[in-house]
Amino acid sequence: MRLIAAWEAHLESGVQRATAGQLEARKSMRVDGDNRPANRGERAAVTSQGYLAQGLANRLDELNDALALLERVGTGRRHQVVMGALVRVGHEEGAEFAFILLPGGDATVLSEAGREVIVLSPDAPFVQFFSGLEVSDEVEVSLPNKRGHWEVLSVE
């Protein structure tokens, strides 16, 4: 499925960006020889870069975990709202949208065949209402930004 390949490329790009950022942050933390902070502000900057490097290391771990899980998702057709499913849902007021459940999903919008598809994690609060449902199943969603009656229109 092209969406899975596009998501994999997106995650790999994130790994490259986080790795480059982490290297830059670590360079800014270098304290040795003549390269020593001269004042409190410079010491704070070195400390901030350390926090940034650690945050980027954590992000790298998340991205690599998502990539490892993505390898196990497979591309077979789904009949329920589960990991790897491409789902189209409709709201009682006529709104429709499509999402795909993939590891590391963060609401990034991908395009396939002229339609927008939102990449969501199976742990996303909205997705929890649909977990395990099939085509024509209906659910009442009560989230601050998504309320009302929803129906599963298709699952691939």
What are the pLDDT digits (tens) for 54-104? 888 899 999 999 999 999 998 888 999 999 999 999 999 999 999 999 999
Tell me the two tokens of residue 51.
Answer: 């926090």
Q: Which among 46, 71, 96 is the end of a domain? A: 71
Domain that holds residue 31: 2-71
Task: Note whether 101 and 139 are same-domain residues.
Answer: yes
Tell me the two tokens of residue 84.
Answer: 């790897």
Q: How confident is the model at residue 143 (pLDDT cuts 50, 70, 90)?
A: confident
| pLDDT cut 90: percent of the chain above it | 63
What are the DSSP E strand ranges found in the chain? 86-91, 96-101, 106-112, 115-120, 138-143, 146-155
Looking at every residue in the chain, the average pLDDT score rounds to: 88
| Structural domain total, the chain | 2
Q: Which among 15, 46, 71 is the end of a domain? A: 71
- Please, where are the H alpha helices in 30-149? 40-71, 125-128
Q: Residue 141: pLDDT above 90?
A: yes
The pLDDT assigned to 30 comes to 62
How far apart, in whole angstroms, are the C-alpha atoms of residue 48 and residue 51?
5
Task: Note whether 8 and 51 are same-domain residues.
Answer: yes
The pLDDT assigned to 33 comes to 57
Task: Note whether 67 and 101 are same-domain residues.
Answer: no
How far apart, in whole angstroms, are the C-alpha atoms of residue 121 and residue 134?
18
SS3 content of the chain, % helix, strand, coil (to 5): 40, 30, 30
Global pTM value: 0.81
Let me know if residue 76 belongs to a domain: no
Task: Note whether 90 and 65 are same-domain residues.
Answer: no
Q: Residue 123: pLDDT above 80?
A: yes
